Amino acid sequence: GQEKALDVETWRGTPAVISPDGARVAYVRGGHLYSAPLEGGEPQLICRRCRVMNGWSADSARVLFEQNGSIGLAYPGHAERQRREFLRHPSAALREARFSPDNRWIAVQMERRGGSNRQIWIVPFHEGPDPAEDTWIAVTEEDRDARYPCWSAAGDVLYYLSGRDGFRCIWGRRLDRTTGRPRGEPFAVRHFHQARYSLAGPRTPEVMSLASARGRLVFTLHETTGDLWLLRTR
């Protein structure tokens, strides 16, 4: 219940993401990604010209980062383990990568170059060779503009934002935890069809995201209001 100031300087418009064990925080400064212990100590440079968006593994041993449209893997706090590129696609940019709660899968957002739509995929994770593209599993259709994947606490539902009904709303799709494949059709979690409350606000995409806990979803919501005034003139 107490606030604590960290002696770190972050880059404007990017978040600081705490590891699940509460020991470290990943943040961007000067366009570079760092990791620092919450109890104090020297920050560790993870990579240059890259960023992180909720990419910690459940055991806090790894963090996923985004760099030039590909997804990398790093091991904060372990100087002996090197970072490496983990996912790359020849014709699309990959963003918003997140580990599943059991660390067996990674959800990632794919943006086809030259197109405006985004698609959500699931990729198997293991410490070894990078997963072949034929093992990737599509969670959403290519023409539905889905973004910001977020695992449920149990790992059996993947939540995301989608404009499939003409508005940006929160949708979900149930998954088989063993195979990672979708079960059933996508379902609406919460619609935002009003002008006042919207998930498609004027702010930059970097501040849009979804986060989950057991029985809860946290998200960025924009509220737009207006007033009419009467001015008495002479």
Mean pLDDT across the stretch 58-70? 89
Residue with tokens 């998200």: 219
| Confidence check: pLDDT of 38 > 90 | no
Per-residue pLDDT, 191? 92
pTM comes to 0.85
Coil/strand/helix, residue 185: strand
Say if CB 20 and CB 60 are below 8 A apart.
Answer: yes
**How far is the CA of 146 from the CAs of 8, 67, 141, 143, 195, in angstroms?**
33, 20, 8, 9, 21
Residue pLDDT, tens place only, 183-220: 999 999 999 888 888 887 655 555 667 888 888 998 88
